[in-house]
Amino acid sequence: MKTLLIMGISATLLTSVSAFAQNDVADSFEPAEQRHEQERTVTLIVEHDNASDYPWTKVRVPSSQVDAKTNELLRDPSVISVERAPEISRPKPPTVDARASVMPMMASGSAVPTFNDPGFPDQRIYQNINGHDMRLLEAAERVDDANAMRIGVLDSGFSRIQDVTYETGYNFAGDAPIGPAFLLEDIAYCSDQEASAGSTLFYRHGTVVSAVATASANNYSGIAGVSQNATVVAGRVMDCSGYGQLDAIADGILWQIGAGVPSAPGAPVIDPVDVINISISSTAPECPSYLQSAVDAATQKGIPIVVAAGNDSYRADRGIAMCDGVITVAATTHDGDLASFTNTGPNVDIAATGETIRAVTVNDRLTYASGTSFASPIMAAVIANTQKRVDNASPADIIDALTRSGTPANNNATGFGLGGGIIDAMILMDEMGVPRDIVAAVNGLSGEREQYKQALIHPSAQAFLGSKNPCDMVEVDARTMPNADKSQAVSVFRVAKGTPLLPQNGNIIDSVSGQERFFTDAITTSEASAYDYGVAQCDIATGADCSQKDSIRGIDSESLIASTDCSI
């Protein structure tokens, strides 16, 4: 049976930049009425029954010819269905409480700024506001910023700014030729339109989203992004004015996960990104099959997709939030209230601050932004930071961990669906097995025993010790876990590199009861490139009281390197 699905639905890109202080930037836009008076190109998604890998093709026609072309396509016996791709478009800025625009930036009890970026003192996402703190900076200190991350951003309005490094980009929108030109200033249509108007007309949303997630810290410019040493892979899926069609998001996902894009064969195959952020929402009542297929492909490759819940003060039950396997983010205020504009409900997985976010926009100008559009990149960046240490976790693992990684919102959120609550990045890293401390063991011939190493490695001493080579001995010290259950044995374990550092994920290689400090030769330093090692003092059979906070410590493989004398 053939199906005709006409979905002429306007989707809303969630938020735009809102200015609340003098000299901040507010974007201006072409009126929607003016845009929709023009003849538009509509994309028809055609599903075939004779295609195996990717059964969808696209046909683009003027809006006045949609019905005729649809009927023509359905006469083809190989066509199963024809679906009109829903539109996506920029929204009006969400309504923000007046008190948020005048609230002092450096709130009482806030942390002392640690970066020299001019906007950093006003970045309340890094501060404890009335007892609410996402602990973003503390969590970031647990991972190595030398591990570069690549964050995919599907959006529009990308511009060059000092704070953001675009690794690459591609245009999937229809106002300019599909191809590598993705920055506003590099697309002739955008620059010509702005020049003729004599002012800034077009959307800067993608720039602001990218900055919130990845802005370089300590460069005396802009703000400090949540994930450092992170680049942006920009997929432009809307035109200069912030309009587009939902099928472009599916194309962008396929491109960012390193798959081929059937409808854009010229798009170069790239290395998969680490996480994808989509601050776009649609009023489409379900996740179209072609979009779910792209999400599933990302899931199979282990790439999480983070999406904004929307700004309609309603349920997050439209568009990409309806796709299985995405991480949907709602918004709260800095002091833990439910944001008045945010969507909520059972599809929401987690919440993050989304009101008066200090940000940076075109020409490196500081601004403020509100909306779930800006809560979402905070969450995407937190996940990217987690992946710097744990890169084998699946999107399902992350979604499961998020159910236990939040703190409750204030009473005004009671009865609304916020998933795990307001993200606490420290708890998420605990749940994902990122060690808080890496201090639990040292080579047996280092430190206070270094003075004995010459005697211990003497051939006579080694003959006496037999199979026990002092060069291979490692001292384990469980005193670094003062809050652990001291009735439990101290266990040394290993997991595959990049796997959450939890004893249940690997093998116990040694275990001692009744001692907090002992020697083991079970750690093979030559295998340190393949394994991560840890020490646990908890019930390893059930894992019930095993936590990064109290009873697990990581072992720094660099500290296990034997003395150079051992190789003589």
Q: Name the residue with higher pLDDT: 218 or 542.
A: 218
- Distances, alpha carbon 439 to alpha carbons 49, 302, 479, 485, in Å: 59, 30, 10, 18
**229 and 327 assigned to the same domain:** yes
Question: Which residues does 66 contact at the CB level (< 8 Å), separation at least 6?
Answer: 6, 42, 44, 84
**425 and 353 assigned to the same domain:** yes
The residue among 431, 454, 486 that closes a domain is: 431
**422 and 470 assigned to the same domain:** no
pLDDT at 21: 35
Does 22 fall in a domain? no
Q: Rounded CA gap, 446 and 451, in Å?
A: 9
Q: Rounded CA gap, 543 and 531, in Å?
A: 20
Any bridge partners for residue 553, and if so which?
535
What is the distance in angstroms between the CA of the first residue and the CA of the last residue of the chain?
Answer: 78
Structure tokens at 176: 């300019």
Q: Rounded CA gap, 476 and 520, in Å?
A: 7
pLDDT at 49: 87
Does 100 fall in a domain? no
Q: What is the pLDDT of residues 31-80, one digit of tens each?
A: 333 444 456 788 999 999 876 678 999 999 998 999 999 999 999 999 99
Question: Residue 563: which pLDDT band, with cuts at 50, 70 and 90?
Answer: low
Question: Residue 12: which pLDDT band, with cuts at 50, 70 and 90?
Answer: very low
CB 500 within 8 A of CB 394: no
Does 446 fall in a domain? yes
**333 and 240 assigned to the same domain:** yes
Q: Rounded CA gap, 127 and 357, in Å?
A: 12
Does 23 fall in a domain? no
**312 and 341 assigned to the same domain:** yes
For residue 520, is pLDDT > 50?
yes
Does 110 fall in a domain? no
CB 241 within 8 A of CB 228: no
Q: Rounded CA gap, 41 and 61, in Å?
A: 5
Q: What is the pLDDT of residues 219-265, one digit of tens each?
A: 999 999 999 999 999 999 998 878 889 999 999 999 999 998 988 88
The SS3 of residue 232 is: strand
Which domain, by its residues, includes 263? 89-93+117-431
pLDDT at 24: 35
pLDDT at 388: 93
Does 24 fall in a domain? no
For residue 399, is pLDDT > 70?
yes
pLDDT at 559: 66
pLDDT at 377: 98
**232 and 276 assigned to the same domain:** yes
**386 and 420 assigned to the same domain:** yes
Domain count, the chain: 3
- Of 405, 337, 329, 414, nearest to 372 by C-alpha is 329
User: Mean pLDDT throughout 535-541?
Assistant: 91
**369 and 323 assigned to the same domain:** yes
**Percent helix, strand and coil across the chain, each to the nearest 5:** 25, 25, 50
pTM for the structure as a whole? 0.83
pLDDT at 517: 83
Does 237 fall in a domain? yes
Output DSSP code: residue 271: P
Q: Rounded CA gap, 206 and 234, in Å?
A: 8
**521 and 413 assigned to the same domain:** no
Please write down the HEC assignment for all residues of 50-75.
Answer: CCCCCCEEEEEEEHHHHHHHHHHHHC
Q: What is the mean pLDDT of the chain?
A: 82
Does 404 fall in a domain? yes
For residue 442, is pLDDT > 50?
yes
The residue among 382, 398, 431 that closes a domain is: 431
Out of 120-134, 276-290, 343-357, 447-461, pick the least confident: 447-461
The residue among 374, 399, 431 that closes a domain is: 431
**54 and 77 assigned to the same domain:** yes
Q: Name the residue with higher pLDDT: 499 or 198.
A: 499
- Of 422, 551, 535, 428, nearest to 483 by C-alpha is 551
Q: Give the Cβ contact number of residue 549 at 10 Å.
A: 12
**406 and 454 assigned to the same domain:** no
Output DSSP code: residue 362: G
pLDDT at 465: 53
**420 and 450 assigned to the same domain:** no
Residue 340: give its domain's CATH number.
3.40.50.200
User: Mean pLDDT throughout 526-541?
Assistant: 87
